[in-house]
Structure 1
Amino acid sequence: MDWNRVEGNWKQFKGKVKEQWGKLTDDDLDQIAGKRDQLEGKIQERYGLDVNGGVKTGHGAEQKSATVARA
């Protein structure tokens, strides 16, 4: 995925992001403005994931994928 194109077309792309990650608010998406690192951070925050995509449980047993497509 070409993140320069994502940033340039963010208004169009954010609808797809919201479909996939429904816990992200419109305010979150406006702040992210197409920046991949900010998108990853908000997904981790809203879904309680650590940086490796695992669910923060204290036990580390559960896993949930939070991969954002990389170019």
Structure 2
Amino acid sequence: MDTDHNKGQETFKITGDWEQQSRQLKEQFFQLKDSDLFFDKGKENELLERIGNKLSKNREEVIKILNDTQLL
């Protein structure tokens, strides 16, 4: 049986100016602090988890929020 453990979990990559995006996120979500938005390239999953925990959102919701911010 072929199973995909990541089924339903899309790969997420930060694109664009993260400093600008993180400022927008802090304006939109007052509970987010610099430490929540600290990002090391290649560690997107850690970032998604921190933001999700702080906002009480699941991975897909956080990805949508970040994607919407990247489009601004």
Please give the range of the TM-score, normalised by the shorter of the 2 chains. 0.3 to 0.5
**What TM-score results when the alignment is normalised by the length of structure 1?**
0.46
